[in-house]
Chain A
Amino acid sequence: MLRVENLNVNFNTFDGQARVIDGVSLHVQEKETVGLVGETGCGKSVVMKVILRILPIPPGEVAGGKVTFEGKDILHSSEDELRTIRGRSISMIPQNLTSLNPTLTVGEQLTDTLVTRANPDLSLVQYYRSRSDKELCRELREKAVQILRDVALPSPERVMKSYPFELSGGMKQRIMIAMALSGNPSLVLADEPGTALDVTTQNVILELLKTKTREKGLSVIYVTHNLAVAAENTQRTYVMYAGQIVEVAGSNSMFSDPKHPYSIGLIESIPKLTGSDPQGIPGRIPSYYQPPSGCRFWPRCEHALPICKKEKPDSVKIDGHIVNCHLFD
């Protein structure tokens, strides 16, 4: 359904060119929940933004690759076509709780979204004229309240009149989920949902998401740095490091038997009730302005071979995993 092939993304800044995404490929089937796991800063959100084509283009630049959604070539679609896709076929649930406009009430943002959903080619003039249409406004408001009720928000009417800063994190996250799902998308890009919240609320939110996914038969890409979440909620998991995909496997298999040194490192750094202390992975994410050649993980890899520096590893199939590592050549 969604296919990303060999994506390359650069950021051109005053400080030079940052090669953020290097040859990333992934795909999502219908009704499948896929995890995308990696450290903060490895480029997960960038990939999501490219899929929706909302990456800011002056500094950003898609240098190569292909993104196909239900047969359509996303990278070469026009803005008009994209607007019919965004929110209606593909939706995004953002990670940051600041993703709601602070100077508009929830109701206003919601109705704006609904109006645009109904009519993606809405011009500014039409928009303002529609605001004076009382009947339409009432309809939209009712629909909005219904949507908020769907995500189990208490007293939706009051929420509609509130500004984002008056609401708690959990409520905001629900609103964002509501907005994302309101257009009945087939694919949802969940960018670290709930990471900005306390653990209890996070669980509630994730449960909500799970329920909705099941109800509506959605495909989901779960972007997260939290392995536990990925393990529980996804069917397949991609592991990403510094702009490169290093491994992909069925989620259970990924966690019981990781192959790539980075995946192993990630698993080992989860605190466990029993067993040895968690081991972090020494080192840091490299600078994207001068990324390591070949496999980008070699500076931090204890099993690094001379070839790791020179060539980017090909994908190797092992035990149902696809690994990009020279150790398995």
Chain B
Amino acid sequence: MRSNLSPSGMKRVKAISRLDGFYGEEIRRMMYRFRRNKLSLLGLAWFVVLTFVAVFAYQLAPYPEDASTPHFYEMFKPPSLEHLLGTDEAGRDVLSRIIIGSQISVSTGLLVLLLAVTIGVPAGLASGYVGGALDAFVMRVADVIFSIPPLVLALCVTVVLTPSLEHSMIAIAFAHWPWYARIVRGEVLHVKEEGYVEAARSLGASTPYIAFMEILPNVLTPIIVRMSLDLGYAILILAALGFLGLGARPPTPEWGTIAGVGRVHLPSRWWITTFSGLAIFITVLASNLLGDGLRDALEPQVE
């Protein structure tokens, strides 16, 4: 990486300076690159707004009780001044439901990722470090998961577990963990090959220390990038499952579910599906812009 070391590079010196280099000037450089990318700033901005909305959803929604309370006499009103995005089949204000739904979408998206990482990272660590049969087994499983499109996989798992929001979350996490395992495992193998492990061991380091100091810094970057990109996909799949009726069940105001229910009423009552879909779109767009910018900042390509 930083090439100002003398060629006699003792591996120990290299290891420590890798750490140092990472936590020092690198971060400043990354932030500079990130700031230059205007589109990603846009993504970041929207995400901040979204988080704000999600946190204060009940305060911001014009009709907060509409999360679940039906008002049947207000059914199917098109967008108007009172109901900016119209009302749905139970007379609930669409805008409010979307705002409140943001809580679900954002939190479940993040939870799914967290779950995937929690399974994937240890799996990758164990796989790479221990090697042998365990490694082979984990990689086989990962291969199988890779070869099936995530939506299909999530669909299958959700069906098997009986459809619900929680189960669809599990299903999506299940489809995504191999990515993280693979990243981590790659780094573990790399570190093993380069002999950093032996060098550190010879200095009396214990296994957890090695794991943290050698592996973590290098793995952090690709994982963060991966997560920011995956957030968008997780939300998309979640919404798709909800749309198909396999995710959150009505009246939970999850965006996909709202859209799915509204589908039946197309084309006359177009506002239900259109606006919930719009919300999904903008959120995923922001997540992807953000992830894209992060990737460019953290892992710059050729000039």
Determine the distance from Cα of A14 to Cα of B29 in the docked complex, in whole angstroms. 8
Question: Is B33 close to A, CB under 8 A?
Answer: yes
Question: Is B300 close to A, CB under 8 A?
Answer: yes
Determine the distance from Cα of A11 to Cα of B14 in the docked complex, in whole angstroms. 29
**Cβ proximity bits A1-44 to B, threshold 8 Å, 1 near / 0 not:** 00000000000011100000000000000000000000000000
Q: Tell me, rounded to whole Å, the shortest Cβ–Cβ distance linking B302 to chain A.
A: 10
Most chain B C-beta atoms within 10 Å of own C-beta, residue among A13, A14, A59: A14
Q: Tell me, rounded to whole Å, the shortest Cβ–Cβ distance linking B153 to chain A.
A: 37
Determine the distance from Cα of A59 to Cα of B33 in the docked complex, in whole angstroms. 15
Q: Tell me, rounded to whole Å, the shortest Cβ–Cβ distance linking B119 to chain A.
A: 35
User: Which chain A residues lie closer than 8 Å to B29 at the CB level?
Assistant: 14-15
Minimal Cβ-Cβ distance residue in B for A56: B303
Minimal Cβ-Cβ distance residue in A for B33: A14
Give the interface size bracket for A toward B. under 10
Question: Is B32 close to A, CB under 8 A?
Answer: yes
Determine the distance from Cα of A14 to Cα of B33 in the docked complex, in whole angstroms. 6
How many residues on B have C-beta within 8 angstroms of the other chain's C-beta atoms? 6
Minimal Cβ-Cβ distance residue in A for B32: A14
Q: Tell me, rounded to whole Å, the shortest Cβ–Cβ distance linking B207 to chain A.
A: 37
User: Which chain B residues lie closer than 8 Å to A59 at the CB level?
Assistant: 303
Determine the distance from Cα of A71 to Cα of B216 in the docked complex, in whole angstroms. 61
User: Which chain B residues lie closer than 8 Å to A58 at the CB level?
Assistant: 303
Q: Tell me, rounded to whole Å, the shortest Cβ–Cβ distance linking A290 to chain B.
A: 14
Determine the distance from Cα of A262 to Cα of B300 in the docked complex, in whole angstroms. 36
**Cβ proximity bits A180-215 to B, threshold 8 Å, 1 near / 0 not:** 000000000000000000000000000000000000
Determine the distance from Cα of A58 to Cα of B32 in the docked complex, in whole angstroms. 18
User: Which chain B residues lie closer than 8 Å to A14 at the CB level?
Assistant: 29, 32-33, 36, 300, 303
Minimal Cβ-Cβ distance residue in B for A15: B29
Minimal Cβ-Cβ distance residue in A for B4: A284
Q: Tell me, rounded to whole Å, the shortest Cβ–Cβ distance linking A194 to chain B.
A: 27
Determine the distance from Cα of A59 to Cα of B300 in the docked complex, in whole angstroms. 14
User: Which chain A residues lie closer than 8 Å to B36 at the CB level?
Assistant: 14
Q: Within B1-52, which residues are at the interface with A (CB < 8 Å)?
A: 29, 32-33, 36
Determine the distance from Cα of A177 to Cα of B32 in the docked complex, in whole angstroms. 44
Q: Tell me, rounded to whole Å, the shortest Cβ–Cβ distance linking B70 to chain A.
A: 55
Q: Within B178-193, which residues are at the interface with A (CB < 8 Å)?
A: none
Q: Within A258-316, which residues are at the interface with B (CB < 8 Å)?
A: none
Q: Tell me, rounded to whole Å, the shortest Cβ–Cβ distance linking A146 to chain B.
A: 39
**Cβ proximity bits A63-102 to B, threshold 8 Å, 1 near / 0 not:** 0000000000000000000000000000000000000000
User: Which chain B residues lie closer than 8 Å to A13 at the CB level?
Assistant: 303
User: Which chain A residues lie closer than 8 Å to B303 at the CB level?
Assistant: 13-14, 58-59
Determine the distance from Cα of A24 to Cα of B300 in the docked complex, in whole angstroms. 32
Q: Tell me, rounded to whole Å, the shortest Cβ–Cβ distance linking A57 to chain B.
A: 12
Q: Tell me, rounded to whole Å, the shortest Cβ–Cβ distance linking A14 to chain B.
A: 5
Minimal Cβ-Cβ distance residue in B for A59: B303
Determine the distance from Cα of A13 to Cα of B302 in the docked complex, in whole angstroms. 10
Q: Tell me, rounded to whole Å, the shortest Cβ–Cβ distance linking A124 to chain B.
A: 26
User: Which chain A residues lie closer than 8 Å to B300 at the CB level?
Assistant: 14
Determine the distance from Cα of A15 to Cα of B29 in the docked complex, in whole angstroms. 7
Minimal Cβ-Cβ distance residue in A for B30: A14
Minimal Cβ-Cβ distance residue in A for B303: A59
**Cβ proximity bits A39-64 to B, threshold 8 Å, 1 near / 0 not:** 00000000000000000001100000
Q: Within B255-303, which residues are at the interface with A (CB < 8 Å)?
A: 300, 303
Q: Tell me, rounded to whole Å, the shortest Cβ–Cβ distance linking A212 to chain B.
A: 35
Q: Tell me, rounded to whole Å, the shortest Cβ–Cβ distance linking B213 to chain A.
A: 27
Q: Tell me, rounded to whole Å, the shortest Cβ–Cβ distance linking A242 to chain B.
A: 17
Q: Tell me, rounded to whole Å, the shortest Cβ–Cβ distance linking B30 to chain A.
A: 10
Q: Tell me, rounded to whole Å, the shortest Cβ–Cβ distance linking A285 to chain B.
A: 12
Determine the distance from Cα of A14 to Cα of B303 in the docked complex, in whole angstroms. 8
Q: Tell me, rounded to whole Å, the shortest Cβ–Cβ distance linking B298 to chain A.
A: 12
Determine the distance from Cα of A58 to Cα of B302 in the docked complex, in whole angstroms. 12
Minimal Cβ-Cβ distance residue in B for A11: B303
Determine the distance from Cα of A15 to Cα of B26 in the docked complex, in whole angstroms. 11
Minimal Cβ-Cβ distance residue in A for B36: A14
Determine the distance from Cα of A310 to Cα of B33 in the docked complex, in whole angstroms. 33
Most chain A C-beta atoms within 10 Å of own C-beta, residue among B32, B36, B303: B303
Determine the distance from Cα of A95 to Cα of B300 in the docked complex, in whole angstroms. 27
Determine the distance from Cα of A15 to Cα of B297 in the docked complex, in whole angstroms. 11
Determine the distance from Cα of A13 to Cα of B301 in the docked complex, in whole angstroms. 12
Q: Tell me, rounded to whole Å, the shortest Cβ–Cβ distance linking A1 to chain B.
A: 33
Q: Tell me, rounded to whole Å, the shortest Cβ–Cβ distance linking B224 to chain A.
A: 19
Minimal Cβ-Cβ distance residue in B for A284: B4
Determine the distance from Cα of A222 to Cα of B170 in the docked complex, in whole angstroms. 66
Minimal Cβ-Cβ distance residue in B for A287: B4
Determine the distance from Cα of A14 to Cα of B300 in the docked complex, in whole angstroms. 9
User: Which chain A residues lie closer than 8 Å to B33 at the CB level?
Assistant: 14
Determine the distance from Cα of A13 to Cα of B29 in the docked complex, in whole angstroms. 12
Q: Tell me, rounded to whole Å, the shortest Cβ–Cβ distance linking B68 to chain A.
A: 50
Q: Tell me, rounded to whole Å, the shortest Cβ–Cβ distance linking B242 to chain A.
A: 40
Q: Can you report 10 A-B residue pairs in the complex whose CB atoms are below 8 A from each other?
A: A13-B303, A14-B29, A14-B32, A14-B33, A14-B36, A14-B300, A14-B303, A15-B29, A58-B303, A59-B303
Question: Which are the 9 A-B pairs with shortest beta-carbon distances?
Answer: A59-B303, A14-B33, A13-B303, A14-B300, A15-B29, A14-B303, A14-B32, A14-B29, A14-B36
* 6 new A-B contacts at CB < 8 Å, known A14-B29, A14-B32, A59-B303: A13-B303, A14-B36, A14-B300, A14-B303, A15-B29, A58-B303
